Amino acid sequence: MTKQEFRAAVSLSAVFSVRLLGLFMIYPVFVSYASGLSGATAYLVGEALGIYGLTQGLLQIPFGLMSDRFGRKRLIVIGLALFGCGSAIAALSGSIAGVIIGRALQGAGAIGSVVLALVADLTAEDSRTAAMAMVGLSIGASFMIALVAGPIVAHIVGVAGVFWLMVALAAAGIAITQFAVPNPHRLVLHRDAETVPGLVGAVLRNAELLRLDLGIFCLHAMLTAGFLVVPKLLRDTLGVASRDDWVVYLPVLLVSVAAMVPGLVVAEKYRRMKEVFVAAVAMLAASQVMLYFAAHHAAVLLAALILFFTAFNVMEASLPSLITKVAPADAKGTAMGVYSSLQFLGIFAGGAAGGWANQIAGGGGVFAFTTALAFVWLVVAVTMARPSLLTTRLLRVAEGQALEPERLASRLLEVPGVAEAVVDGDEKIAYLKVDSRRFDAAAAERLVRDSRG
């Protein structure tokens, strides 16, 4: 990456991180706080925890599309302002209804797709993957830091103080956007990073993509539902005070990160992605069964948490990669947009359905719900097609290229290792799906740069 591209990747990763830190920090401390609010029931507490996912899931794609017309940085600032306003409403509310309104407004600032579009605006095709990877790493790091920091911060300033911290983080994000993020020279539709409305139908008709979308939906529904019960289990089973929850989360997360690495190595190096994927779903199911039957045993509880977060980390790393492998060459951004929307809708479903199960049948009801989700996903995962070994490559087409887009695409298909080729004449980009072990990059480069055709 150039210095400008590195600056863009770092600053936009920071924008993503400050927002996600606040959202995730509330997870381990929310239930005990919200249960004491006026009008609170177990169902409404679950709805309050998850409802930001509903507004985020519904507005994720529209925000990205609006940024094409009104500007990326403007939409990011608006989204962060909504997030800050929602956080202030939640901090000031003494009722569960007020917190639900605040949380819904937090999610309405759905800037994820806009940030990724701006990353694409500010990076060249050959460095975009690295920039996107930096953003992805910042998301994972924010999640782990937030789970550990949440109980500590809440003990110092209270849960209302955590919401006020979110206001400060929103303001920091706005400042980073305005003063640190470079301004793009022009806004361009990037099919590898943005949703193309005309391709949504094709993505929704792709059975293999839908299997992966179901996976991310179930994964985040299970995560959110679990946080309705797990904090209380740490009190009752382990005798850990709420301020000391980090003492459990930190080693669990560290062990889970170390345990996920071998699985990812096997999946990528030895091309055993389906086997690792199915094994991770089976681990998720096993963890929920353990929690349902024996969460009152300390050793079982800790083992189940390690098992869950190991599988969770494997999925968070592998699912986006699988989306890239399965999506058509020119529909990666659209596929990721639908995937991201289902992720947030899963958060809402987990909070609402988990809250209802908790109200009807207590913690056992929550784990019965998450176990059912895990086994449905396991059946779908077992029957999925073996993922292709193809990767996406983008090539800039020369301005003087004489061949028509369709003709150039057909010529590119003749290059060794190219399985799919789509050329966008407006973007001047060739979108390829290639077998990296056979791909003749030099031949493809010559084709897209040869103005004589």
Please indicate, yes or no, whether residues 401 and 438 belong to a single structural domain of this protein. Answer: yes
Where does a domain end: 160, 194, 228? 194
Where does a domain end: 164, 194, 224? 194
Task: Flag whether pLDDT at 76 surpasses 50.
Answer: yes
| Average pLDDT over all residues of the chain | 91
Where does a domain end: 372, 388, 404? 388
Please indicate, yes or no, whether residues 418 and 371 belong to a single structural domain of this protein. Answer: no
- How far, rounded to the nearest angstrom, does the alpha carbon of residue 30 sit from its chain's CA centroid? 21
Please indicate, yes or no, whether residues 125 and 225 belong to a single structural domain of this protein. Answer: no
> CB–CB of 359/43 below 8 Å?
yes
Please indicate, yes or no, whether residues 33 and 164 belong to a single structural domain of this protein. Answer: yes
Please indicate, yes or no, whether residues 417 and 379 belong to a single structural domain of this protein. Answer: no
Please indicate, yes or no, whether residues 218 and 158 belong to a single structural domain of this protein. Answer: no
**Domain of residue 62, CATH code:** 1.20.1250.20
Cα 271 to Cα 223, 265, 266, distances in angstroms: 28, 9, 7
Please indicate, yes or no, whether residues 186 and 90 belong to a single structural domain of this protein. Answer: yes
Q: What is the mean pLDDT of residues 357-381?
A: 96
Point out the least confidently predicted range of 197-201, 254-258, 358-362, 402-406: 402-406
Q: What is the mean pLDDT of residues 252-260?
A: 93
Whole-model pTM? 0.93
Q: Indicate the pLDDT class of residue 453, thresholds 50, 70 and 90.
A: very low
Cα 132 to Cα 20, 254, 321, 333, 384, distances in angstroms: 16, 24, 12, 12, 27
The share of the chain scoring above pLDDT 70, in percent, equals 98
The share of the chain scoring above pLDDT 90, in percent, equals 63
Please indicate, yes or no, whether residues 65 and 21 belong to a single structural domain of this protein. Answer: yes
Q: Give CA–CA dist 358/225, Å, rounded.
A: 9
pLDDT in tens, 418-452: 999 988 877 788 889 998 888 988 888 888 887 44
pLDDT in tens, 129-139: 788 888 888 88
Q: Give CA–CA dist 126/106, Å, rounded.
A: 34
Please indicate, yes or no, whether residues 67 and 182 belong to a single structural domain of this protein. Answer: yes
User: pLDDT value at position 301?
Assistant: 96
Cα-based angle 232, 42, 103 (whole degrees, multiple of 5): 95
pLDDT in tens, 116-174: 889 888 888 778 778 888 888 888 889 899 999 999 999 999 999 999 999 999 999 99
Please indicate, yes or no, whether residues 149 and 111 belong to a single structural domain of this protein. Answer: yes
Give SS3 for 41.
coil
Domain coverage including residue 155: 1-194
Residue with tokens 């010559």: 446
Give SS3 for 287.
helix
Q: Indicate the pLDDT class of residue 401, thresholds 50, 70 and 90.
A: low
Torsion of CA 255, 261, 264, 270, to 10 degrees: -140
**Residue 181 phi, psi (nearest 5):** -75, 125
Please indicate, yes or no, whether residues 419 and 321 belong to a single structural domain of this protein. Answer: no
Helix (H) or strand (E) holding 433: strand 429-435
Cα-based angle 55, 202, 16 (whole degrees, multiple of 5): 35
> CB–CB of 291/341 below 8 Å?
no
User: pLDDT value at position 201?
Assistant: 92
What single DSSP character describes residue 419?
E
Cα 139 to Cα 13, 134, 221, 282, distances in angstroms: 8, 9, 18, 25
Neighbour order of strands in the sheet with 429-435: 390-396, 429-435, 418-424
In total, how many domains does the chain have? Answer: 3
Please indicate, yes or no, whether residues 294 and 433 belong to a single structural domain of this protein. Answer: no
